[in-house]
Structures are given as C-alpha cells and as structure tokens.
C-alpha cells in the first residue's frame, strides 16, 4: 500500500501514485533553487579551488609522491557513490538525502582543514567526495521534480552561473587563501556556504514523495564501487607510476572490466537495482549518457591544462590565471541562457548537443595551435568558443535524459548521467596526463641538442612544477617551456576522436518533445519502461 507525504514545497499539493506530477510555481522554484545552487556550488568550487593549494600542501607535508591521491581520493568516492545517492533518494525522498550529502561534505571539509599529515588529508578528501557525489546529482534530480522539462530551459542561466562562478572563484579563492591565511582555509570556506545551503533546503524543500516498500542493492553498490576503484587506481596511480605494461596495471584494468561486467549481471537480477538496466533500452537516455561520458573525457581531461599554460608559459599568478579564464565563463552564459529560453519555448533540444560537439571540437583544434608567443586575445577567443560549446550541452542533455524516463527513476537517471560525466572526467584527466608526460619526453628529446645523461629527466621533472620551471636557467627553461607547449597541443588533439564520437551520438539520438506541467508519459518507450519498473516492484 502506497502513502503520500502531505508536506510540499510552499504548500504545493502532493500527488498520488496515479496523479500528474505537481510542479512548483516560479516564485517557489526560485526559493528552492537558492538552496540547491548553494549545494551545487560547494561541489563545483571544490573541483577548482584545491589545485592552486596543492604545491603548498606538498611542501608542508613533504609528500610529493602522494600528491595525486589528494585529487584521486575525492574523484573515487564522488564518482562511485553517485548512483547510490540517486537510488536511495528515489526511495526515501530528495530532501533528507540532500541534507545528508551537505552534512557529509561539510564534515569532510572540517576534517580536511584539521589534517596533520598527507594520509589524513587523503582520507578526509575521500569523505568530502562521498558528500559531493550526492550534492550535484541530487540537485539536478530535485530540479527534475519541481520544474517541468519544458520549463527547465528558463532556469539554465542559474545553473550555468553556478559552474561559471565556481570556475572563476575556485582559482581566485585558492590563490588568495593559499597566499594569505593558508591552504587550510580552502576547506574552511565551505562552512558558511554549506550552512546557507543547509538552512534553505531544511526550511523550504518539502517535496511530495510516494512511500513504498524498498530494498537497497548493497551488492550492486559494492561491485560498482570496486569497479570504479580498480579503474581509477590503474589510470591515476599504477599506470603513471609503475608503467602501463606492468603486471599491476594490467591486473587492475582487467579487474575493472570483470567487475563492470559483474555489475551488469547483478543489476539484471536484483529487485531494485542502483542503475536499472532498463534505462539503457531507451535510445535517448543511452545516447546522452554516452555523450556525457565522451564530453567529460574531452572537457575535464583537456581543461586542466589551461591554467598550467597560463601560469607556466604566460607567467601568471594563480589569481591572474583564474581571471584569465573569464572568456570561457562568458561563453557558457552567452550560450546556455538563450538556448535554454529557446528550448522552453519550442520544446526542442536536439540541435544543441550537435552544435556543442562541433564548437568544443573547434576549440580543441584551435587550442592545439598554442605556442610560446600566442597572444592572450587569441586564447580568449578559443576559450569563448569552448565555453559556448559547453553551455549548449551541460544541462540540456540532463533535461533530455530526465524527460525520457518515468518519474520514479528521476533520481536514478540524473545520478547516472552525473556518474558517466564524472567517469569521463576522471578517465580523461588520467589519460591526458599520461599523454602529456609521454609527449613531453619525446619533444624534449628532439628539442635538446646532444642532451647529457639525465638532462631530459631533469627537464621533465621541472615541467611538473611551475616554480621549478621558472627557476631553470636559459636555455634549459626555453627547452622545457617549448616541450610543455608542444605536448599540450598533442593533448588537445587527442581529445578530438572522443568528440567525434560524441557528435555522432548527438546526431543519431532521437528527440522526444519536452513535457509540460500537465503532460504524462508520451512515448511507447516510456510506457514500456513504466511497466517494467512497476513489475520489478511487485
């Protein structure tokens, strides 16, 4: 027997199991978005603020060999936990889970700020990642609950503002806090933001939720966590450290594939899977999940090198390099707001991911031409094109995926989209990092005439640290910088095949008209998916 929670946001009536969804008014949506955006900002900011503080953290803890784990631990838990947050929120409701995600993230932030050694920091970054896995996916799932698909485009500018602000504020705050009160404040700064989000969500987020019997897929959660863990260990640790052909790296990669296959078999057999395989029967959801993964590979994997170019080659401080990324943010805003408005007006969206893939590919091709003497205004144009491409797809693909699944799978579908994008980013970061290191060695071997034994290795190590790079004497500094720029160009080119596949997916993925406030399921795919989901519940 199903019962319905009477409490709703702003007094909106709850919907019963067979009723049409009850969405919020514009005024109610703006109030709820305040809390959701604060939570999203926490997770987005943390991805960009930590990088500028890492050199000082390494210096204080004298632990260069464990530097990558400060980032990998966060990526590991945030990526692996994303599907679980979405599934549990479908069962228990968004509000309690979103509150739990904020509390977990803030707890990890406090502990990270109090860390006394690198091992403690790595462990507490993992706690932060666990909370971050819920913040982003639950925010998007809640948006799917309170805003009809047809109207979500009107609010795209708000979502883009969160990512844009975090992209600029992250490097700026990271540089200012690290140079000022110290690196621990990059974690303390999360507290006031998180408390505001917690207060708003606790006060106003009252969503209708249909209670029903449930079973948590603990086996699936364990297997997907193990699969992600082994994969990230292979590409973030064993490959770069031990070599890609070593027994350890190969064993980890094979284990990740075996565990991924095992996860699919588990999900096909449990009553309430974390990621229902039925979701992938729909061409819209599976197409945009693949698109999100591939764009994540290209976007996250390549964009991490722009601050490095600005700081190493253009000799900018962390603060100035953060400001220099502004054209990309302007591009995101200039594309996301008009496309969102048009999507709401027409109910059509297919063209935007196609244009997105073309623009991002163009930007990557232009970025591959960067040199020591490229004027900043050239780079600004390239970044604007990149931002415009990202603005056309970041939220639109999520909206399209949400629109293609039944409402009881909203949280699961949203978190799965976030999961694929995060996995793409994690894999892209590791793969492109390996490409950079490999190509840097090759370019230095060509650039340095009659290199003495150990010279190439010394220059390669110097290129891993901006201060070490700038401390080199000429002509070694020139060689190292030229090699670094040439290697970055190769990295941007490597992203093009991923983007080409993303473009093909965007073209062949069908379009389904966005539902309005009173629309129910429209397509045969949705109807069959509803029936399958209902059957799994009884």
Lookup result for tokens 């990557």: 364
Q: Do the domains at 1-214 and 282-429+493-514 have one common CATH topology?
A: yes
CA 441 to chain centroid, in Å, comes to 30
What pLDDT is stored for residue 531 in this prediction? Answer: 38
What pLDDT is stored for residue 391 in this prediction? Answer: 83
Superfamily of domain 1-214: MFS general substrate transporter like domains (1.20.1250.20)
What pLDDT is stored for residue 366 in this prediction? Answer: 95
* Alpha-helical runs (H) found in 392-454: 396-403, 410-447
Q: What is the model's pTM?
A: 0.75
Provide the 3-class DSSP secondary structure of residue 512: coil
What pLDDT is stored for residue 210 in this prediction? Answer: 52
Calculate Rg over the CA atoms of the chain: 23
What pLDDT is stored for residue 527 in this prediction? Answer: 40
Dihedral angle of Cα 510, 514, 515, 517, to the nearest 10 degrees = 170
Asked if 190 and 109 touch (Cβ cutoff 8 Å), the reply is yes
Span 431-473, pLDDT tens digits: 787 788 778 888 887 777 776 667 777 777 776 667 777 777 7
What pLDDT is stored for residue 521 in this prediction? Answer: 45
Q: Which residues pair with 4 in a beta bridge?
A: 210
Residues in the chain: 538
Asked if 155 and 143 touch (Cβ cutoff 8 Å), the reply is yes
Q: Which two tokens stand for residue 499?
A: 């983007």
What pLDDT is stored for residue 195 in this prediction? Answer: 87
What pLDDT is stored for residue 91 in this prediction? Answer: 76
Asked if 22 and 209 touch (Cβ cutoff 8 Å), the reply is no
Asked if 56 and 221 touch (Cβ cutoff 8 Å), the reply is no
Domain boundaries, the chain: 1-214, 217-271, 282-429+493-514
Q: Which residues of the chain have pLDDT under 50?
A: 1-20, 521-538
Superfamily of domain 282-429+493-514: MFS general substrate transporter like domains (1.20.1250.20)
The CA-based diameter of the chain, rounded to the nearest angstrom, is 80
């Amino acid at each position: 027997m199903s019962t319905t929670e009477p409490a709703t946001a702003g007094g909106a009536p709850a919907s019963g199991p067979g009723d049409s969804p009850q969405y919020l008014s514009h005024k109610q949506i703006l109030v709820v978005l305040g809390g959701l955006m604060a939570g999203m900002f926490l997770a987005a900011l943390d991805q960009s603020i930590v990088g500028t503080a890492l050199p000082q953290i390494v210096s204080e803890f004298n632990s260069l060999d464990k530097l990558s784990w400060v980032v990998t631990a966060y990526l590991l838990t945030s990526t692996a936990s994303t599907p679980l947050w979405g599934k549990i929120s479908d069962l228990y409701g968004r509000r309690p889970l979103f509150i739990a995600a904020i509390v977990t993230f803030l707890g990890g932030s406090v502990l990270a700020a109090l860390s006394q050694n690198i091992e403690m920091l790595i462990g507490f970054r993992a706690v932060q990642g666990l909370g971050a896995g819920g913040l982003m996916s639950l925010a998007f799932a809640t948006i799917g609950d309170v805003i009809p698909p047809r109207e979500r485009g009107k609010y795209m500018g708000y979502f883009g503002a969160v990512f844009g602000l975090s992209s600029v504020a992250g490097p700026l705050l990271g540089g200012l806090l690290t140079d000022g009160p110290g690196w621990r404040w990059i974690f303390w700064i999360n507290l006031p933001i998180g408390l505001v989000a917690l207060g708003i969500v606790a006060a106003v987020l009252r969503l209708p939720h249909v209670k029903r019997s449930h079973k948590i897929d603990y086996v699936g959660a364990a297997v997907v966590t193990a699969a992600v863990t082994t994969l990230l260990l292979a590409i973030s640790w064993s490959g770069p450290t031990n070599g890609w052909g070593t027994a350890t790296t190969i064993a980890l990669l094979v284990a990740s594939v075996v565990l991924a296959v095992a996860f699919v078999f588990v999900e096909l057999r449990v009553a309430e899977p974390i990621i229902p395989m039925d979701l992938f029967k729909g061409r819209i959801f599976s197409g945009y999940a693949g698109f999100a993964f591939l764009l994540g590979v290209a976007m996250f994997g390549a964009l991490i090198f722009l601050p490095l170019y600005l700081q190493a080659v253009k000799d900018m401080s962390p603060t100035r390099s953060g400001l220099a990324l502004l054209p990309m943010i302007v591009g995101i805003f200039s594309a996301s707001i008009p496309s969102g408005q048009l999507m709401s007006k027409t109910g059509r969206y297919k063209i935007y991911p196609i244009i997105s893939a073309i623009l991002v590919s163009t930007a990557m091709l232009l970025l591959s031409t960067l040199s020591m003497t490229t004027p900043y205004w050239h780079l600004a144009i390239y970044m604007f094109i990149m931002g415009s491409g990202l603005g056309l797809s970041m939220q639109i693909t999520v909206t399209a995926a949400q629109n293609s699944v039944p409402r009881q799978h909203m949280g699961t579908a949203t978190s799965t989209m976030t999961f694929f994008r995060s996995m793409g980013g994690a894999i892209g970061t590791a793969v492109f990092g390996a490409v950079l290191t490999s190509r840097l060695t090759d370019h230095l071997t060509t650039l340095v005439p009659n290199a003495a034994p150990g010279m190439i290795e010394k220059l390669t190590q110097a290129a891993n640290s901006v201060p070490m790079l700038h401390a080199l004497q000429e002509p070694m500094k020139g060689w190292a910088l030229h090699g670094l720029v040439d290697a970055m160009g190769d990295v941007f080119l490597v992203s093009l095949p991923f983007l080409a596949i993303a473009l093909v997916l965007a073209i062949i993925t069908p379009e389904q008209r966005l539902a309005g406030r009173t629309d129910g399921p429209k397509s045969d795919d949705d109807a069959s998916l509803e029936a399958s989901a209902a059957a799994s519940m009884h």
